[in-house]
Chains A and B, each alone.
Chain A
Amino acid sequence: MNQDSGYQPKEQAGTSNRQRYDELQHLRWQVELLSAQVRASEATIAELRAEVDRLNKSAAETATRHNAAERQLAKAHKLRAAVCSLNLANTRDQFITALQEILANIVGTECFAVFESISPARMQLVSSMGIEESPYGTLVRDADGTVRSEDGTKLWVNREEAQLTSADYAGRYFIPLKDGSELYGLIVIFGLLPQKNIHLGEDSELWDLISQHASAALLRKG
């Protein structure tokens, strides 16, 4: 038989099978090695993904804390500026100006009135911006704590805290100027600037602080 018939001597064919077997074994070994490497890589990738998730979560938490800290700092600056402004006023006029600036620039209103108690039953308008003053020249205080305008309209009911909610009072907000339970005056905010959003926590702290410090300053300057 010649070579074209496909015949090969036995010894040559055996060697070839052995080689193929060895090659096959070698390939199996390589496959196992690669499989092990793939499994190791997958484990590493899973670990890295977990680390990335952890870092992302940590970064998000840091960003949240950073934002919260910045908000706290901004609030502290506002409170400080308001307190300094009120306490640096040496005269009654300076005090009224400081109060107006705080209301317009920090509280966010250009529509307000400031009243001062002149007797247990009456309050007098001392400053206003953006309102028709005539109905509010003098306010009458009833024994039950209700405050009325001159035309008899119920304006406000005396409460302990500054009121940021105004559902019962036609969009008005109130900052009582108090020292303990004694009411020395009242700030009525008839409307906030359109761009001003109420932040209950922050604003209530600012308004409470104005309430305390403005009443103290009002007493000193009175």
Chain B
Amino acid sequence: MLVDDSATTLMLEKAVLESSTSYDLVLARNGEEAVEKAVSEKPDLILMDVVMPRMDGFEACRNMRAREETKSTPIILVTTRGSEQDFETGYMSGCNDYITKPFEGPEITTLLKHYLGE
């Protein structure tokens, strides 16, 4: 599942993944929608932005970790925030990994394949 409030970023992530994998993609535009879709769609992995309206990525991550259905789903945060403090907040919120924008296509696919055991 790809979560980002930026249509441009979703378009880019979708293009990168569709060209190099055969994953079925579910899209969400904010943290709240991400939590709802994570519970209903049960994605194998969540690639999520941090700065989003309604519910940010950190909060969404904590929310998913508190739920039985999503507590062990791999979550990778993708954000422009690259400080150590942000990394720490990300890991404290329960994410599995943290990558910064602007990202390179191969970086994303390699990480996803690692977490999906490919």
* A206 and chain B: residue at smallest CB distance: B102
Question: A80: nearest residue on chain B (CB-CB)?
Answer: B15
- Are A110 and B8 neighbours in the complex by a CB distance under 8 Å? no
**Nearest chain A CB to B76's CB is how many angstroms away?**
16
For residue A73, which residues in chain B have a CB less than 8 angstroms away from its CB? 19-20, 105
Q: Whole-angstrom distance between the alpha carbons of A74 and B19 in the complex? A: 10
Whole-angstrom CA separation of A82 from B11 in the bound complex: 9
Contact size class for B? 10 to 19
* Per-residue A-contact encoding for B3-23, CB less than 8 Å = 1, 0 else: 000111101100110011000
Q: Are A105 and B105 closer than 8 Å at their CB atoms?
A: no
Binds B, one of A142-150, A172-180, A192-200: A192-200
Residue of A67, A71, A81, A108 near B8 (CB, 8 A) is A81
In this complex, the interface size class of chain A, counting residues with CB under 8 Å from chain B, is: 20 to 34
Which of A67, A80, A110, A195 has the most C-beta atoms of chain B within 10 angstroms of its own C-beta?
Answer: A195
B16 touches A74 (CB 8 A): yes
User: A200 → chain B, closest Cβ, in Å?
Assistant: 15
Chain B positions within 8 Å of A139 at CB level:
none
Contact of A74 among B9, B82, B83, B104 (CB under 8 A): B104
Contact with B along A76-105 (1 / 0, CB 8 A): 011011101100100000000010011011
Supply 10 further A-B pairs (C-beta < 8 A) apart from A74-B104, A80-B15, A194-B83. A70-B105, A74-B16, A77-B12, A77-B19, A98-B8, A104-B80, A105-B9, A108-B80, A193-B101, A195-B82
**Residues in chain B within 8 A of chain A (CB atoms):** 6-9, 11-12, 15-16, 19-20, 80, 82-83, 100-102, 104-106
Give 8 pairs: A residue, B residue, CB < 8 Å, sorted on A. Answer: A70-B106, A71-B106, A73-B105, A77-B105, A81-B15, A82-B8, A105-B8, A110-B80
